[in-house]
A and B are shown apart, each in its own frame.
Chain A
Amino acid sequence: MTAILHQNSTIQLHPKMPHSIPGANSAENDEVPIVAEEMETDEMQTDAEVNKPNESNVTPAEEMTAEDAIAEQLKDTKVAEAKPEVKLEDLFADDDSDDEFASSNIKDTKVSSSPPEAPSSPVNIGTLSRATDTDVMRAFYQRLFPWRSLFQWLNHSPTPSTDFGHREFAFTLQNDAYLRYQAFPTADLLRKDVLRLMPSRFEIGPVYNTNPRDRKTLRKASSFKPLAKELCFDIDLTDYDDIRTCCDKANICIKCWQFITMAIKVIDIALRDDFGFKHILWVYSGRRGAHAWVCDKKARQMNDQKRRAVAGYLEVIKGGAQGGKRVDVKRPLHPHVARSLDILKSHFQSDILEDQDPWETDVKFARLLDLLPDRSLNEALRKKWSSAPGRASSAKWADIDALAKSGASKNLDSKALLEAKQDVLLEYTYPRLDIEVSKHLNHLLKSPFVVHPGTGRVCVPINPKRLGDFDPLDVPTVTELLDEINEWTAPEGEDGGKVVQDWEKTRLKPYMEHFRSFVAVLMRDEAGVKVKRERDDSDAMQF
């Protein structure tokens, strides 16, 4: 008979799916011991796996084991070609990051110019040779790095789960080899592998549906999929180079750091008030920028489309260097833009007009005039400014309204002028996001608390409540911290009843405390979410 689709209705176009993701919370992970003493067996197992010859039919050039990588380190040849398989776009996307001047390009950094009148400005790179020194790094990883907190942060509970176990880590070794798809069941195994391989830094990627180390054993490559990752933001001062006058390239000072301060304020409040996110970790990128990790469960589970939506919502500065006008906002201003403008107003006066003095010279104020709408007014302004060389930007900014009021233009559209001034303000203050980082679930981002190989500074969390107190130049370098441990003496009157952790002896302390309390609150909320979900599930079973 004709029962084609009928027969095939047994094909089940909508097979019933289990509520949970396959593999999540599976029993295998409960068997992983949490106690450190029992780790040895696991560790040996890991080593054995690494030593196994490659079973899959991939060429060695594509797939590099950890052991190969060590061999590479010794030979130090053709490192870039030994990268493990990477998506083409990832490759192209990552090399212009904050770290591009790291390690191999250190010489460039040293010769890059910095303003002589601000001796405290340039990032201190004197400790560089020591910062990348293996002994220094080993001591740092052994004594200071917050392995347990990092684990809890990514695992969302004290008991090891796939949230941590299926998470991708990527190591940048000291010869710049890049090892992707590393994964560890516990904090201790991660720590051991880091101490063994001594990466100069490592990055954190998404949680996958299977252990990233097992991806080759899947029948189809496409069944290896990222499931979750924090929503991330990357703000970098290089994107401000056309408006930042105090420093250039890799250099920063407290003046231009204000761009980052403004950005954090604007983004943080939008993520909290508008999107309802609660767990936002801000981290200093180690040189000239900051990263945000939005850790709410809802944020972690977002697909690329939703990530793009958040990124688009927050993006106000658009277009490349050739794109002409870069601020593109509708009127009336969307509540987010209006609020941002309010926040940025006070910064504009002090941090931009006074500190950056962006329109000091003829060439520079031409850029401002380009952004203003009224031709006659512009002519009047140009005349006034040309005849007063060096007139301060704040005075020039005030001149606009003063000349407008004095009737420099007969048919002045004051609304258009006001809007243009708002656009100028936004162009000089609104956050410039590296939006690609935010759009993709599978983007890797440098881990908090690693050491920036170029500056030696630790990528410490920034407390958004005390944003004004944060000074990137005051962030401790790894060598300073190790010195602080050595110089530490127990306070008088205490006879050492309580064990003092190494980090407590150093300037890392406030940053660690901030991180620990951040993680504690995250875990508490997550536990709440879990209980609630389980209850919902059991309700669902009752019908």
Chain B
Amino acid sequence: MSRPDIKRRTTLDHRKKQFSTPTYAPVEYKHRLNFYATPPTADITLEQFEQWGIDRLRVLAELEACSFRNKSPIETASHMKPLLDKYLPLSSSTSNSPALQAERQKDHYSHFILRLAFASTEDLRRRFARAETMLFRIRFQGDDSKERAGFVEGLSLEWEAVGEEERRQYAEELRAAGGGYPKRIEEESYFKVDWEKVPELVEGRRVFLRGGMAYVPSREQMSMVVAEFTGRLERALELTSRALPRLDEDDRLSPILTHLSQNFTTPDANYSATQTSLAGADISARTIDTLSSSFPLCMQNLHRSLRRDAHLKHYGRLQYTLFLKGIGLNLEECLIFWRGGFNKITDDAFNKDYRYNVRHAYGEVGGDSNRRGKGYSPFSCHKILTEHPPGPGEAHGCPYRHFSTENLMGLLQTVGVRDQEALRGVREDKEKTKFHLACNRVFEYAHKQEIQKVREEGTWGAAQLETLIHPNEYFKRSYLLRNLGKHQKKEEGEGDVKMEE
């Protein structure tokens, strides 16, 4: 996540002076929480417009980084607290703070400013909605319970209370769906809502379903409110995106908005081949076997599966092809590599079923013309960890996450990690779902001597040894460490994939 650049655009300066006396429309914010249903109407200065947008962006970017690093909700909340206090404070209604209304106005306006900035593409909309949802959830949890109840009441959601008789009738099912909660059915009250309103509860089988209605215990209220928040925001963003072309005509705002949206870059969006290429390295179909000792475990697993089965299922091929592309294997060599790997099928079958996939991944064919020439980006750890978990017979994904502990230990030992302490550490990391940590731990173990060397010699800075968050970075760093001296480091300016600390 790159840090929002606060550098001002000089072209705006002379204009800003014209808008220096703000006036506020008398909007009263009754609640600390906001569903952002009404767009702002009062005037603000251009400077405020930009500053408030930047402040909120810092918060959202950091939230995204938290999810990216797999932090738990509690860790995220405590990590975010100082940032929120600094950039987007929101006092409770009972605090009687004199800044109360101003804080809420800034929260309200900055949300809408970023809505404009991030409505333009589907990807930005999705990420914005996700980060805003995280923010809303943290605030909802932190809200005073009385104020929260008042806020929820004001939303007038379509929830039907489950009557006493019905609750008794389904007592057993309701308790089973709640994982045994509550002990006595009288201790909890339930709402009945269309199941589509609570997809996350349905997905996790955390509610009783009957005839299309979900029976939601009131303790799950947050999940429902959050789902409602996300749903409304997604719809609103969609509408905003359609209104955007008209906004383009405003030459005061569009540079600011473009600037804001450019600073919401995703860590894995642009991992281009040039960033990872290693000058002078022999990266070709026949060297992959050797190079694979520098691959992260997910890719080693794919490589071993390919060599064992002479086949990989679709997502495995996709994950591995893009990784190989990322380490600098060119298309021709990549085709040779796969042809050799799938050695149990005929040339015809290979050309028919697989050749196109590989070329597509390299951007040679298919896709929209924007992608042509670049193809797809190699998957980041985040993507591998969160999307498309492997099913039966599939070898893609992240072994630290998707393997059982036992199988993970087995795999680590076969690739040469036999140190009991390292294995125990990985086991603990996995139990705490710190998959990044586990992977970085293995990296450090496997490159212990080299890391010590560059540290002692002071040839590598901290930035070059920070937490790995991308399989291609893993390879690059491993390769460079193992070939110290052979290759001059050229990546002084490395940091395109850097995250905020």
Contacts and interface: CB of A to CB of B under 8 A. Distances in A.
B356 interface: yes
B3 interface: no
Nearest to B230: A305
B367 A92 contact: no
Contacts of A330: 179, 205
Interface in A417-468: 432, 434-436
Contacts of A274: 209-212
Interface size class of B (residues with CB under 8 A): 35 or more
A58 B366 CA distance: 10
Interface string B120-135: 0110000000000000
Interface in A251-298: 273-277, 298
B243 A93 contact: no
A322 B195 contact: no
Interface in B213-231: 213
Contacts of B314: 91-96
Interface stretch (A308-316, A380-388, A399-407, A516-524): A308-316
Contacts of A6: 41-43
A269 to B, nearest CB: 12
A179 B334 CA distance: 27
A105 B346 CA distance: 10
Interface string B10-48: 000000000111110000000000000001111111100
B205 A2 contact: no
Nearest to A12: B243
A323 B45 contact: no
Given A80-B356, A104-B348, A85 B366 contact: yes
Contacts of B23: 2
B458 interface: no
B43 A4 contact: yes
A8 interface: yes
B402 interface: yes
Nearest to A95: B353
Interface in B231-262: 236, 239-240, 242-243, 246-247, 250, 252-253
Interface string B172-206: 01011101100000000000000110011011110
B167 interface: no
Interface in A322-373: 322-326, 330-338
A499 interface: no
Contacts of B397: 320
B352 A104 contact: yes
Size category of the binding interface on chain A: 35 or more
B247 A434 contact: no
Interface string A61-100: 1100000000000000011110101111101111110000
Contacts of B392: 239, 242, 317, 319-321, 326, 432
A344 B13 CA distance: 73
A77 B488 CA distance: 47
A5 B44 contact: yes
Given A92-B318, A322-B403, A86 B43 contact: no
A70 to B, nearest CB: 19
B195 to A, nearest CB: 7
A5 B361 CA distance: 44
Interface string B35-71: 0000111111110010000000000000000000000
B492 interface: no
A302 interface: yes
A305 to B, nearest CB: 5
Given A8-B250, A275-B195, A309 B175 contact: no
Q: Which of A92, A308, A337, A436 has the most CB of B within 10 A?
A: A92
A528 interface: no
B41 A80 contact: no
Contacts of A338: 176
Contacts of B449: none
Contacts of A324: 403-407
B76 interface: no
B19 A1 contact: yes
A222 interface: yes
20 contacts: A13-B240, A14-B39, A85-B366, A86-B360, A93-B315, A96-B314, A221-B368, A239-B391, A274-B209, A275-B212, A309-B200, A309-B203, A312-B205, A317-B392, A319-B389, A319-B404, A322-B404, A324-B407, A330-B205, A332-B176
- Please name the 3 residue pairs, one residue from A and one from B, whose CB atoms are nearest each other, closest first: A324-B404, A276-B212, A312-B203
